[in-house]
Each structure stands twice: as C-alpha cells, then as structure tokens.
Structure 1
Amino acid sequence: LMRIMTNMEPNNRTYTVTEFLITGLDDVQHPKLVGAAILFVLFLILIGSITNICVIAFNKPLHTPMYFFICSLAVVDIVYTSGISVTMLNVLLGEERRVPYAPCMIQCFLFHLGSTMEPFAIALMAYDRLIAISYPLRYQTILTNTNVCLLIMATWAVGCIFASLWTGIVNNLPFCGSNKLPYSFCEYAALVRAACVNPTFYFNVASTVATTILWVNLALIIFSYMKIVYEVMQMSSSKDRRKTFNTCVSHMIVVACFFIPKVLLILVTRVGLVLTLSHRNGLIIGSTLGPSLVNPLVYCLKTKEIRGRLKNIFKRSEINPNM
C-alpha cells in the first residue's frame, strides 16, 4: 500500500510544514454569531454527556449493560465534538486560523476516532436491546459486566486502529509549500487535499473503508430491530408490546439522528451531485454536532431511570424555606 502511495506522489519539491491555515470558514458572514452558536451547542453536549456519565457512575443500580453502553456513547460524543470544536471556535471567535502541526494531527485522530466509534457504539446498544427482548431469561448470562467491558474495549480498539491509520497516512504525505486547509478543521480529506499527491487514490481508500463501517453497523442494527419486531409481534398482550417498544424509542431516535444524515450524504454523492466546500463543511459540522447534542438529551429525558435519578438530585439540592 505504501509503495503504491509513493509511486503516485509527483516529483515536486516538498517542504516541512509546521502549521496549517484553516480557510474553510472564511465565507461565514457572521463568524461571531456562528461561533457563539457552536460554543453553546458544545456546552450542551458536554453538560448532557457528563451528566449521564456521572448519574450512571454514582448509582450502582444503573450499573447494567444498557447504561454502560450509554456511558460509552457519551464518551464518544465528548471526544468527537471537543476535538473539532476547538479549532472552529479559535477561528470564529478568536480569529486565529493557524493550527500547529502536532495539534492538527491530534485533532485528525480524535475526529476519525469519534466518527468510527459512533456507529459501533450505537450498534452495541441495538445488540443490548436485541438480547433483552429476544432472550430475556439469558440476558444476565449473555451480557455480563465482563462481556460488556470486553465489547466496549474491542470497539474502542477498532476505532483507535482506524483513526491511527488515517492519521498515519496523512502524517507521511509530502507537502509542497501550501499549508491551507479549505475545511473547518483538521481531518483526513482536508490534509490529503493540501498534500502534493493525487487525492483520488486516498479518497477512494478512505471512502470504501468508511462506507463499509457505516453500512455494516447499520445492517446489524436493522437486523436487530427486525428480530425485535418479530419478538414483539409474538406477544399476546398489547400492553406488553407497547411497553417493550417504548424501551427502544430512545435508541431509535439516536439511530435516526446519526445514520439518516450520513446515508443521505452518501446517496447525494453517489447520484453525482457536487457539493461546494461551504456546503460540505456545513454538512460535516451539522452531522457531527447534531447527533452528539441529541444523544444526551434523549437519554436524559426518555430514560426513566436516569430521569428519576436527576429528579432526586434536584430535590435534594432544593433549599428548605423553613430553615
């Protein structure tokens, strides 16, 4: 693979790049307003995700597979959004477009770690619902805490491998003097375009791998819900069917918010519609921050156990007027 890449590189004089210049946000008409909106969304994501993690961590009754998977997703959201937001906030609010080389590579790693981990984390939650509904009597023996931890660590390991792969590739690309990134933050596609190589090969490899990861996880989720629907339809009581279905609502919202934008973007690209860099940047920002904002809100509001724990916390913090 590296030999093919080397042969595709033109014989241009290369330069040592010490920093990159983010130019993808230059066309934003109201940068301060957009920056403030991104900062507010990031604040909500961090507060919601950290709240979910703390509520689950400090309440032993919630130390069950489903809530461990919720914690894993919350960590993914924190890593995913924080990694890209720092640069965008620096550009929009701090008017600093320069990003040093090392932080740029770290940001590239974190972005691709999050984008790889998100579908895996959501698929694990679908697997949890499948076991809980299809094999309720064996749930505790199949999804033991040890097995859950192994599954979570395995997905994080896979995410780190792919993130390291993309970061390692761009870290070894030659740059021919241009350090401008016409994107919103440091990512694989932006760095490939800035390098003095033919980007087609690099894009094709990344697109194939990323699309495969997305479709495989989506297929696993669809299969899980087909099995769940079949099991629910076998229930004789409509009350039981409704109760069982309600346990999946939160997860289905999360699935829709993450996969629909991704699938639409793939379909739009496949039919030949060419997106401008501004539109592409907007779609990437929205498809990254949007699901990560919805996830903690959904689980705070729709999960009865987390909602109940939060109510108890707020009740305890109320000041007694008779004191």
Structure 2
Amino acid sequence: MKGFCHPNILNILFIVVDKRLHQPMYLLICNLAVVDILYASSSSPTMIGVLVAGVNTISYVPCLVQMFAVHLGGMMEMFALSAMAFDRLIAISYPFQLGVVLTLEASHGLMIGTILGPTLLNPVVYCLRTKEIKSKLFNIFKQVEVSK
C-alpha cells in the first residue's frame, strides 16, 4: 500500500502547499492523484485478508462494495484524464488566452465533473440496457420532436 500512496500523497502535498502550482493543470493532476489512491486502494482490504489471514472467500456485500469502488475509480480516472486532455486542447488551440478560456473556476467544475460524472453516467447507461426503459425514453424524445 505504501508503494502507490506515497508518490500520490507527495504530489498532493506539493500542489496544496506551493501557491504557484494552483493552476488548472496542476489541480487536475492533484485530482488524478486522489483518484489513483481510491482506485488502487479499493482492492487492498481483500488482498490483505487473503495474504495475511488466509481468508480465501469474500461475502456478498463487501464484494459489491469493492466492485463499485473499482469501477467508480476506473471511471473517475477516465474522466480525469479526459479533463486533462481538454485542458491541453484549450492550451494548444488558444495559447495566449488560456487563463481567459479555462479559468480556475472552470477547472474546479471539471474536477467536480470527474467526481459526479461517473456516478451519474453509470445508472443512465445501465437503464438504457433495459428494453422497456429504452423504448419509453425513445418515445419521449419522439414526442418532443413532433411537438416542435
């Protein structure tokens, strides 16, 4: 556990302590470090139980919690990397207007989006897998198009 937490915690501490690093890209890197800690430590309790205590089974609820944490961490990491790519796209497209286009508040919005995005997107995707819900949603959208 020390191997993956130590560099990420140092990264977070450097960014929090040094005021010069309070730029959008560094805050996104800090957010990525937090996501990496969550993602990497989600399976640690089970591994410790298997290696130290010799418990080779896991009950249903801890298994679901661990699966949720792994999938949430993976989705949050994907969203964080997408936000970092968006920041670089803005930096390349508008090199002299980066502070105007992507402000610190917009960066905070991107970080909140990396946290809320996966939690809001997963239920929508799984709801669309059900035929009844999918047909009802498409009927709603068809009615909206007809009324326009």
Q: TM-score range by the shorter chain?
A: 0.7 to 0.9
Query: Pick from 82, 102, 118: which aligns with 1:123?
Result: 82
Secondary structure at the residue paired with 1:137?
Answer: coil
Give the match for residue 137 of structure 2: none
Q: Which has the higher contact order (CA 8 A, sep 6+)?
A: 1
TM-score normalised by L of structure 1: 0.36
Tell me, in whole angstroms, the C-alpha distance in 2 between the residues paired with 1:158 and 1:127: 15
CA contact (8 A) 1:113 1:159 kept: yes
Q: Percent identity?
A: 42
Give the alignment partner of residue 112 of structure 2, picking from 153, 175, 182.
153
* 1:177-256 map, 5 Å: none
Aligned counterparts of 1:51 and 1:82: Cα–Cα separation in 2:
16
Report how far residue 89 of structure 1 moved. Answer: 2.5
d(CA) in 2 for partners of 1:65, 1:82:
26
Instruction: List 4+ stretches of structure 1 deviating above 4 A.
Output: none
2:23–2:104 contact (8 Å) kept in structure 1: yes
Which segments of 5 or more consecutive residues in structure 1 lack a partner in the other structure? 1-41, 170-204, 206-323
Structure 2 length as normaliser, TM-score?
0.76
Report deviation, 1:147: 0.6
In proportion to residue count, which structure has more helix? Answer: 2
TM-aligned CA distance change 1:162 to 1:84, over 3 Å: farther
| Candidates 18, 28, 31, aligned match of 1:59 | 18
**Residue of structure 2 equivalent to 1:140:** 99
| Count, aligned residues | 125
Contact kept in structure 2, 1:113 and 1:162, CA below 8 Å: no
Structure 2 residue runs of 5 or longer lacking an equivalent are 130-148
8 Å contact from structure 2 (residues 79, 117) kept in 1: no
Contact residue 117 and residue 155 of structure 1 kept, 8 A: yes
Which has the larger Rg? 1
How far 1:162 sits from its partner (Å)? 4.7
CA–CA distance in structure 2, aligned partners of residues 152 and 82 of structure 1: 20
1:80-99 alignment to 2 at 5 Å?
80-99=39-58
Counterpart for residue 79 of structure 1: 38
